[in-house]
Amino acid sequence: MSLALRQPAPAAGNLGLDGLIMLTERLTALLSAENQLLASRRPAELAGNQEEKHRLTALYAREMASFKSKAAEFKANQPGLVQRLQRRLDP
């Protein structure tokens, strides 16, 4: 079972809130699929997706840092998107 997502991940840069939400959803889906593989005792299948997971994780870290530095601006100008992002981040 390949966990690779069909669409290529966005390139590094300023994705904006829509891009950060999409990235969060993609990373969450990848991690969820990995958890399913582990639960079904198929850890060998994780190896093929490590590079993509590392790339998405690094991009997520950069984009979240960028978001946090502009959080007040986003909250003032795009409160709906900020709430949508918060819903994706809450467990």
Identify the pLDDT of residue 81: 85
Indicate the burial class of 50 (C-beta count within 10 angstroms; 0-12, 13-18, 19 or more). Answer: exposed
Question: Which of 91, 90, 85 has its CA nearest to residue 24?
Answer: 85
Identify the pLDDT of residue 91: 65
* Tokens found for residue 39: 């639960």
Q: What global pTM score does this model have?
A: 0.74
Q: Could you give the CA distance from residue 57 to residue 14 in angstroms, rounded to a whole number?
A: 15
Identify the pLDDT of residue 6: 46
pLDDT < 70 positions in the chain? 1-14, 91
